Amino acid sequence: MNLNEYQPRDVFTPLHNRSKRWVCVVAHRRAGKTVAMCADLVIGALETALPKPQFAYMAPQRDQAKRVAWTYLKDLTRPMWSKPPNESELKITINNGHGGESTIYVAGADNYDALRGMYFDGVVLDEVGQIRPSAWYKVLRPALSDRRGWAIFAGTPAGKNMFWNLREEARMNPDTHLLLELPASKTGIIHPEELRDAKAQMTEDAFLVEYECSFDAAVPGAYFAKPIGEAYSEGRIGKHPIDPAFPVNLVADLGYTDSCSWWGWQETHDGLRIVDFMEDDNQPIQHYIDWVKSRPYLVNPKGIFLPHDARAKSLQTGKSIIEQFLQNGIRPNLVPEMSLQDGIEAARMIIPSCWFDEEKTYEGLEHLRAYMREWDEKTQTYRNRPKHDQHSHASDSFRYLALAARPVSRKSRRVTTITSLPGAGASYAFALNDIWDCQQVQSGRVG
Domain ranges of the chain: 3-215, 238-437
CA–CA dist 223, 402 (Å, integer): 14
CA–CA dist 338, 325 (Å, integer): 23
Fold of 238-437: Nucleotidyltransferase; domain 5 (3.30.420)
CA–CA dist 29, 364 (Å, integer): 31
407 — pLDDT class (breaks 50, 70, 90):
low
pLDDT at position 231 is: 92
Q: 16-46: per-residue pLDDT in tens?
A: 999 999 999 999 999 999 999 999 999 999 9
Region 392-414 average pLDDT: 75
Helices 358-370 and 392-405 pack at an angle, to 10 degrees, of 110
CA–CA dist 232, 88 (Å, integer): 46
CA–CA dist 202, 130 (Å, integer): 22
Mean pLDDT of the chain: 87
Are the C-beta atoms of 153 and 21 separated by less than 8 Å? Answer: no
Element (H, E) at 71: helix 71-77
CA–CA dist 72, 6 (Å, integer): 11
Q: How far is CA 293 from CA 213, 266, 410, 419, in A?
A: 43, 17, 31, 20
Partner residues linked to 431 by β-bridges: 417
Fold of 3-215: Rossmann fold (3.40.50)
382 — pLDDT class (breaks 50, 70, 90):
confident
CA–CA dist 397, 338 (Å, integer): 13
CA–CA dist 279, 258 (Å, integer): 11
Are the C-beta atoms of 145 and 123 separated by less than 8 Å? Answer: no
Find all residues with CB under 8 Å of 380, minimum gap 6, and list them.
Answer: none
Find all residues with CB under 8 Å of 145, minimum gap 6, and list them.
Answer: none
Give backbone dihedrals phi and psi of 308, rounded to 5 degrees, phi first: -65, -30
CA–CA dist 155, 157 (Å, integer): 7
pLDDT at position 421 is: 52
Is residue 444 over pLDDT 80? Answer: no
Q: 76-96: per-residue pLDDT in tens?
A: 999 999 999 999 999 999 999
CA–CA dist 24, 273 (Å, integer): 31
pLDDT at position 413 is: 44
pLDDT at position 410 is: 36
Strand runs (DSSP E) across 311-393, as ranges?
Answer: 333-334, 354-357, 373-376, 381-386
Q: 310-354: per-residue pLDDT in tens?
A: 888 765 667 888 999 999 999 999 998 889 999 999 999 999 999
Is residue 253 over pLDDT 70? Answer: yes
Region 139-159 average pLDDT: 94
Label residue 428 exposed, middle or buried (CB < 10 Å: 0-12, 13-18, 19+). Answer: middle
Q: What value does the CA radius of gyration of the chain take, rounded to a whole number of Å? A: 27
**Residue 406 DSSP label:** S
